[in-house]
């Protein structure tokens, strides 16, 4: 074990969206033994760095589902973007179908102001038509949305901001609307679609994935990716599970994710990352 790549939401972060002291300590201990540690997340680079800083750790960062890779020192190692024309194509379809969405670009996440209204309406409708369903997952996902996002009056303004974009995040309460997104973009030659949770889908350049990000990082560090360990909980982690030599599923991951991993650890609430890292350090470094 020379390199560990760790997902954030549902993996390194607990319910309060924080890295526990126990998880931070395990990461520092691994680093002290010479193991390289990377955060691998769908979130932006800035968010990942902030979470690490709050926990008093530093790490390499694979962000926006692998569209960006930064070294621990902050050097940009990889940027795989969606061009403006393709972004315009995506956004106009989302507008037509009234999805809530966010576009990640250099330095900011953009969203149209009226999107929030669409989001509220979609959640309300879903709640009314599914009165018996457990909505905790939906609420938790929607709760993550109101972060530091820059709002524009017209969606066209988003396209005036940059020449290329890292990721488009789309929220969908109804599973049919997630499916519609996959049906529209899943076979695209330029794009890849992944989901980090039940009620979303995210679009990136086809070459961007956590797995490819991990390969780039390993190469830069001069480490064979076979000697990397990947820890995660969801479908957007599968590419890094496949790229790494050893895969660890969180206890809170779905059964089909767990089934395909080499090891299952505790839940994110119970410091599953720390427990897996301690276990592997014991195994490799005694
Ligand atoms: Ca996750």
Contact (Cβ atoms closer than 8 angstroms) between residue 99 and residue 112? no
| 3-state class (DSSP) for residue 71 | coil
83: Cβ–Cβ under 8 A, 6 or more apart, which residues? 163, 164
Overall average pLDDT of the 108-127 stretch: 90
Query: Residue 155: which of 244, 89, 62 has the closest Cα?
Result: 89
Query: Residue 172: which of 205, 131, 148, 137 has the closest Cα?
Result: 137
36: left (phi over 0), alpha (psi -120 to 50) or beta: beta
Q: Taking the alpha carbons of 81, 85, 88, 92 in that order, is the dihedral positive or negative?
A: negative
Q: How far is the CA of 164 from the centre of ligand 1 (A)?
A: 25
Residues 27-75: tens digit of each pLDDT: 999 999 999 999 999 999 999 999 999 999 999 999 999 999 999 999 9
Q: How far is the CA of 277 from the centre of ligand 1 (A)?
A: 17
**pTM confidence score:** 0.90
Q: Among all chains, which residue has been given the structure tokens 């998880």?
A: 23
Tokens of 103: 């576009």
Contact (Cβ atoms closer than 8 angstroms) between residue 83 and residue 164? yes
Overall average pLDDT of the 231-252 stretch: 97
Element (H, E) at 76: strand 76-79
83 belongs to the catalytic site: no
Contact (Cβ atoms closer than 8 angstroms) between residue 232 and residue 7? yes
137 pLDDT more than 80: no
Q: How far is the CA of 157 from the centre of ligand 1 (A)?
A: 30
Angle (CA) 245-25-9 rounded to 5° is: 60
Residues 247-265: tens digit of each pLDDT: 999 999 999 999 999 999 9
Strand order across the 68-70 sheet: 76-79, 68-70, 60-63, 36-40, 3-6, 228-232, 246-249, 263-264
| Ion ligand 1 nearby residues (CB, 5 A) | 7, 9-10, 233-234
Q: How far is the CA of 95 from the centre of ligand 1 (A)?
A: 27
Q: How far is the CA of 228 from the centre of ligand 1 (A)?
A: 18
Distance (Å) of CA 67 to CA 8, 77, 104, 147: 16, 11, 10, 20
Of residues 7, 9, 233, 237, which has the active-site annotation? 7
Q: How far is the CA of 56 from the centre of ligand 1 (A)?
A: 21
| Phi, psi dihedral angles at 7 (to 5 degrees) | -70, 160
Q: How far is the CA of 154 from the centre of ligand 1 (A)?
A: 31
Determine the pLDDT at residue 244. Answer: 98
């Amino acid at each position: 074990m020379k390199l560990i790549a760790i997902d954030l939401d549902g993996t390194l972060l607990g319910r309060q969206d924080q890295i526990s002291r126990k998880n931070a300590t395990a990461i520092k201990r691994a680093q002290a033994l010479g193991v390289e540690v990377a955060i691998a997340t769908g979130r932006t680079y800035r968010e990942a760095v902030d979470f690490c800083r709050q926990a008093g750790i530093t790490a390499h960062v694979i962000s926006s589902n692998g569209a960006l890779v930064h070294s621990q020192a902050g050097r940009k190692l990889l940027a795989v973007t969606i061009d403006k024309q393709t972004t315009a194509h995506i956004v106009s379809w989302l507008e037509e179908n009234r999805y809530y969405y966010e576009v990640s670009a250099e330095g900011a996440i953009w969203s149209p102001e009226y999107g929030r209204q669409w989001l509220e309406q979609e959640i309300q409708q879903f709640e009314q038509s599914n009165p018996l369903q457990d909505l905790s997952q939906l609420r938790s996902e929607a709760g993550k949305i109101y972060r530091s996002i820059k709002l524009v009056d017209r969606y066209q303004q988003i396209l005036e901001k940059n020449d290329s974009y890292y990721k488009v995040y789309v929220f969908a309460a109804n599973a049919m609307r997630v499916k519609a997104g996959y049906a529209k973009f899943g076979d695209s030659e330029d794009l890849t679609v992944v989901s980090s949770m039940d009620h979303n889908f995210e679009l990136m350049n086809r070459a961007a994935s956590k797995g490819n990000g991990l390969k780039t990082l390993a190469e830069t560090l001069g480490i064979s990716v076979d000697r990397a360990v990947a820890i995660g909980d969801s479908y957007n982690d599968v590419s890094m599970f496949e790229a790494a030599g050893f895969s660890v599923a969180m206890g809170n991951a779905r059964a089909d994710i767990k089934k395909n991993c080499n090891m299952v650890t505790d839940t994110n609430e119970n410091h599953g990352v720390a427990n897996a890292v301690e276990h592997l350090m014991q195994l490799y470094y005694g």
